Amino acid sequence: MTQIPLLTVDPPKLPTDIDLRLCAVDALLDDMPGVPSLVIADPPWHYAQAPGHSANPENHYSSMSDAEICQVLDRAYDVVEVGRLALWCTWPKLGQWFDAKQAGRWRWKYVSGGAWTKTGGSATGFHWLGFSEPICVYTKTKAGSPLCANWGALQNAYTSYRQKHSEKPVDWMCDWLERWTEPGDLVLDLFAGMAPVARACNRTGRRYVGAEIDPDRCRQAIDRLALDRGVH
């Protein structure tokens, strides 16, 4: 019997300005391709939930302690000259997070916050069911170098359908990029996940560099980018 050789399919090619790396975030920060004007972080927060709990993040990915996250964000501060940090958090973690950053070296300046309201699907929670997610905005400034603030209204609240676990709304992040950066600016994505930030950069003409440590999530992210562009 003649054996039919297995076909191998090469992964889709990324757009020229999209640099998504399968690596740890520290490795990315050691090898930056430029100076970002915006840092976006959606960290894998750790919760003290019993193993097997349906809402435990470890069911989806490996988590990090607040101290480890604080160290990564402090390193990111050093690669920015003037710019913003947009940090996705969760309501239960806000108090612990403020305590953790107060205890460590923290140089980002908090300036504002917002929230994403999720419609559809199900939610978990003890005091409240989690149908929204907060985001904190910080800045690094320098005398004589103003922050980018393009004209146009940018609301600090957004409503959209709930995505897969921890997946964030691309359309809202497109609004951030158009308000807080210029076309061609570099955006640093510390925890890429399914790469909604890369997709937003691709749609708005911003350069992107990001790290994702999980091979399966990285491949899915590349596939989504390809679908976004209509190519394979």
Give pLDDT tens digits for 122-131.
Answer: 666 667 777 8
- Greater confidence (171 vs 6) lies with 171
pLDDT exceeds 80 at position 11: no
Return the pLDDT at 231.
Answer: 45
Q: Taking residues 39-66, report their average pLDDT.
A: 73
Domain 18-46+60-229 has CATH 3.40.50.150: yes
First to last CA, the chain: 33
DSSP string, 53-118: -TT-GGGTS--B-HHHHHHHHHHHHHH-SSEEEEEE--GGGHHHHHHHHHHS---PEEEEEEEEEE
Q: How many CB atoms neighbour CB 21 within 10 A?
A: 16
202 touches 208 (CB < 8 A)? yes
193 touches 42 (CB < 8 A)? yes
Question: Would you kindly state where each structural domain of the chain is located, as residue ranges?
Answer: 18-46+60-229
Return the pLDDT at 232.
Answer: 39
- Greater confidence (158 vs 164) lies with 158
